Amino acid sequence: MTIHRAYQQLLFQLFEIYDDREAHNIADWVMEHITEWKRIDRIVNKEFPLSPQKQGQLEKYTKELLAHRPVQYVLGEAWFAGMKFYVNEKVLIPRPETEELVEWIIESEKWKMKNEKLKPDNPPANEQQPTTNDLFNIQNSKFKIIDIGTGSGCIPIALKKKLPAAKVTAIDVCSEALSIAVQNAMSNETEIDFKLLDFLDRTKWNELGQFDIIVSNPPYVKRSEAAAMRKGVLDFEPSLALFVPDDDALIFYKQIADFALTHLKPVGMMFLEINEALGNDMIALFTAKGFTSIEVKKDMQGKDRMVKAVV
């Protein structure tokens, strides 16, 4: 079987359960993984034969994909902020909206530092302006970030890559998820302080310190919303990281807000990914908790997806 024939065969079968665009994207990803060739190389070498071993690998992947198993779990890899992450069913698949959250953190901190005059007030006209990393280095690694419910570790690892002088802590209640996060930190050459900790147990909070930024993508999907979700998400992604009770949908946000009141440094900021239907509820919650500045931000799809709050 040639590379071209294998691709066409896979694509035809994926059309059964995916729309055209997604089927093409998945087929390209799978073929690149199997052949280790980019698309242009596969086109040039389309008559190159797949070895029996690679044909067997393709058959295995195809069977799993047709059972609605997400391609990221099938291949054991996902991309986030330009980096490759290992993933399996113990962690959520990193999503583009979460990348937007990370970008918002970087931009917000860059703006704050400029306004705090961490650069010269009147630099020479020909002097190069400091980068975000330069601004963080000025702080002598005293800048601290915590990610609550880290999963694959994509958020803290991306932040550490962008802000290498920052001290980053990440916690999760699941030891298997934390093991994956540690593996991803090592493969992406980042130093993160990982802790196995049940955040809902407030007695554990004294094991954590004070932070300049608190970030989290906690469970926020109501159980009643499950019926509208894709089969691949429901059947394979960890429900512990997805769902909250309908009668207490803000359970994690309440806890994070209380944690921030005692563990967020002065002029520190909190960034959270949220349920698109609960933007107004988030504003009401943080207002009641005493936060002075609250901003809900839409994602690229125009949905209320992120909130920033300052004590």
d(C-alpha 231, C-alpha 254), whole Å: 30
DSSP, collapsed to helix, strand or coil, labels residue 69 as coil
Distance, in Å, from the CA atom of 310 to the CA atom of 214, rounded to the nearest integer, reads 10
User: What pTM, to 2 d.p., does this model score?
Assistant: 0.90
CB of 56 closer than 8 Å to CB of 6? no
Closest CA to 77 of 34, 42, 15, 24: 34
CB-based contact 56:219 (threshold 8 Å): no
Q: What is the pLDDT of residue 311?
A: 81
User: For residues 21 and 11, what is the distance between their CA atoms, to the nearest angstrom?
Assistant: 11
Among residues 200, 210, 310, the alpha carbon closest in space to that of 264 is found at: 210
The helix or strand, by DSSP H or E, that contains position 171, with its residue range, turns out to be strand 167-172
Residue-range domain boundaries for the chain = 3-67, 96-119+130-310
What is the widest separation between alpha-carbon atoms in the chain? 66
Residue whose token pair is 């005059």: 117
Nearest C-alpha neighbor of 61 from the set 27, 20, 23: 27
Output the CATH code of domain 96-119+130-310. Answer: 3.40.50.150
CB 84 within 8 A of CB 187: yes
pLDDT, residue 132, reads 53
Place of tokens 């007030």: 121
151 sits in the region (left: phi over 0; alpha: psi -120 to 50; else beta) called left
As to burial, measured by CB atoms within 10 angstroms (0-12 exposed, 13-18 middle, 19+ buried), residue 307 is: buried
- pLDDT for position 122: 46
Q: Are 77 and 87 in contact (CB under 8 A)?
A: yes
Query: CB under 8 Å, gap of 24 or more: what pairs does 233-236 form?
Result: 233/70, 235/68, 235/69, 236/68, 236/69, 236/70, 236/73, 236/89
CB 75 within 8 A of CB 26: no
Q: What is the mean pLDDT of each run of 10 residues along the chain (311 residues)?
A: 95 95 97 95 94 96 97 98 97 97 91 60 51 52 90 98 94 98 98 97 95 97 92 94 94 97 94 96 95 94 95 81
